[in-house]
Amino acid sequence: MRFLADPLSDGAVLAIAFGFVGLSSVIMSSGELKPQQPVASSKLTSLDRYAITQTVDPNAGRLSNFGLYGAIAFAIVGPVVTGVRESSAQAFLVDAMLYLQSTGITGGLTNLAKIAVRRPRPRAYIEQQRLLDLYGDRAEEIGATDYALSFPSGHASTTAAIAATATYLAFARAGRHSPRPWITLVVGVLATAFVGYERVRAGAHFPTDVIGGALIGGGVGVLVPHIHREQSLKERPVWIGYQPRAGGGIASLSITL
């Protein structure tokens, strides 16, 4: 299966996506956004309460970074391997664009959600409790913006976007009867789960934060390569039809994979 890229439209998408990521990251790091304050822990979902009662692992943040950097390294090496395998510079450029677009759009959506929601991180709850234990009613509010950028997890969303794009490309090119796409799928899911788990263990995110990030990244990672398939291969992937008959009719649904 071939994938096509348009320098003008795809270049514009990349510029918008990474431009928004850059500007929103500057705003979030400036300290101008007033963070939301932690609420009573009883208001958290039962799935999330573990994140503030656990013993935070000081090494988990570094491990989650290793997982993220591994995914990014794959997104760099993958297009090179494709270009060499197909002896085509164009194949390399198209794959590189697909990974860039997946991660750029995912990063923009992730930052937009962070700014809109401003959910306190688990470590904000832990820090607030420490201040309350020390100063009681005189305890100051949590003031750092980063303490309220919990939802969704950027580590999880980026890893999931790369994994989803890689899996889609593997299935499209090797077919479902080849072991390569299934191995890619399993490794991608495990990598995303590992990164998400370590982000929770680091006190940086709640479980629902990493689930939300994985859903954003996974969705974008599938949609980007799908809409870049060669036109002849993506016409009518889903066809819904109705055939009139005496006394009624019959509806049909067919899906082309």
- State the first-to-last Cα distance of the chain, in angstroms, to the nearest integer: 11
Confidence class of residue 140 from pLDDT cuts 50, 70 and 90? confident
pLDDT given at position 143: 79
| Mean predicted confidence (pLDDT) in 125-142 | 77
| Among the listed residues 35, 32, 42, the one whose alpha carbon sits nearest the alpha carbon of residue 142 | 35
| pLDDT tens, position by position, 144-153 | 899 999 999 9
1 within domain boundaries: no
- Of 128, 99, 105, the closest CA to residue 18 belongs to 105
CATH number for the domain that contains residue 31: 1.20.144
Q: Is residue 201 a part of any domain in this protein?
A: yes
Task: Render pLDDT for 204-243 as a digit per residue (tens, 0 to 9).
Answer: 999 999 999 999 999 999 999 999 998 644 455 555 555 6
CA 255, CA 241: separation in Å to the nearest integer? 12
Domain membership flag for residue 35? yes
Report which of residues 238 and 136 the model is more confident about. 136
* pLDDT above 80: residue 138: no
Mean pLDDT of the chain: 90
**49 inside domain:** yes
Structural domain total, the chain: 1
In this prediction, residue 213 carries a pLDDT of: 98
pLDDT higher at 220 or 245: 220
247 assigned to some structural domain = yes
Establish if 2 belongs to a structural domain.
no
- Predicted pLDDT at 243: 61
pLDDT band at 78 (very low <50, low <70, confident <90, very high): very high
> DSSP per residue over 35-57, as a string?
PPPP--GGGS-TTTTHHHHS---
Q: What is the pTM of this model?
A: 0.87
What is the CB neighbour count within 10 angstroms for residue 141? Answer: 10
Q: How far is CA 27 from CA 21, 81, 105, 122, 153, in A?
A: 10, 37, 18, 22, 18
SS3 label, residue 241:
strand
In this structure, of 37-41, 78-82, 218-222, the range with the lowest mean pLDDT score is 37-41
- Supply the pLDDT for residue 108: 98
**What percent of the chain has a predicted confidence (pLDDT) above 90?**
72
Domain that holds residue 221: 7-255
Mean pLDDT of 174-182: 94
Q: Which residue has the higher pLDDT, 141 or 168?
A: 168
